[in-house]
Amino acid sequence: MKFENKRQSAEAHEAISTQIRRDIVSMLLEAGSGHSGGPLGTTDIYSVLYFGGFMKYDPSNPDWAERDRFVLSAGHMAPVLYAALANAGMFPREELMTLRKYGTRLQGHPGRDMGLPGIETSSGSLGQGISIAVGMAMSDRLLDKNKRRVYSLTGDGELQEGSVWEAAMSASNFGLDNFCWIIDNNDCQIDGRLRDVMNVYPIDEKCRSFGFDTIVVDGHDFNQLYAAFDRFTENWQKGTGVPTAIVAETKMGKGVSFMEDQYEWHGKPPNAEEAKIALSELD
Ligand SMILES: [Mg+2]
């Protein structure tokens, strides 16, 4: 079953998110490696972005020139992007089970040269995707008459990369109101809490000082996510010259009780027993 891309109820998004989360758990079990926490934690953002009528894409014509662009800067969170794209009809859902297998188009980090529909760029080296996305937004402004929106998602740990802030500075310097920066703020990174590794707080004030219209939302509240993406769309349509940042407060591993808010699940797949429990909780 393929989900539609239009404004829909919170209940409908709940069902979409549950399907995506089930896919993530199944893919990771089958792969035997990969990242569970971030993908499950950001699922509701994809639910609204790809199935709430915000991302403009056409599964029957994935290379459509006027499509919006999405760049997953935190490339290790690829399973959620793959699951969202498959459920949008960009490629067959069966292919999800090839994640990380030899020769697959679903590499552990997205690879543009794999030819998977919906993957705009290779990513995974942290701090780089956002710069690529800002470049795309600039090119759209200069060459293509501002027809597209460009979205990029970074992790909160990724904010420790200096190049992220160069990209942010450029986005406001060049007035890129067609650029939406989504920050997954789960207060977890591979080795622990953000404050214990390298404090990046206050994130919202940093974004504001870098010139972004900054909105802090509960990343699991569909209404708040709709309001934030609506405000971005408004900034773009009105031509405010101000880029938008959405700081989404999320729970790593959301939906699976024993993974929730546990940074140990950053880069670990479930084993068979854990996957069974996870899928029963996501029923
Ligand atoms: Mg994080």
Q: Give the pLDDT confidence of 170-213 residue by residue, as tens digits.
A: 999 999 999 999 999 999 999 999 999 999 999 999 999 999 99
User: Is 1 part of any domain?
Assistant: no
Would you say residue 145 lies in a domain? yes
- Ligand 1: distance of its center to the CA of 193 in Å? 8
The SS3 call for residue 283 is: coil
Where residue 26 sits, what CATH number does that domain have? 3.40.50.970
* Residue 90 within any structural domain of the chain: yes
Does the residue 174 lie in any domain?
yes
pLDDT at 145 over 90: no
218 by Cβ neighbours in 10 Å (0-12 / 13-18 / 19+) ranks as middle
Q: What residues flank ion ligand 1 with Cβ within 5 A?
A: 155-157, 186, 188-189
Please check whether residue 4 lies inside any domain of the structure.
no
Is the entire prediction scored with pTM above 0.85? yes
Domain limits for position 204: 10-281
Tell me the CA–centroid distance for residue 185 and ligand 1, in Å.
6
In tens, the pLDDT along 16-41 reads 999 999 999 999 999 999 999 999 99
Per the DSSP assignment, residues forming a β-bridge with 150 are: 69, 179
Q: What is the 145 CA–ligand 1 centroid distance (Å)?
A: 35
Ligand 1 centre from 264 Cα, in Å?
11
Residue 3 within a domain: no
Reported in sequence order, the residue ranges of 64-157 that DSSP labels E, i.e. its strands, are 69-72, 150-155
CA dist., res. 188 & res. 88, Å (int): 29
User: Domains in the chain: how many in total?
Assistant: 1
How high is the mean pLDDT of the chain? 97
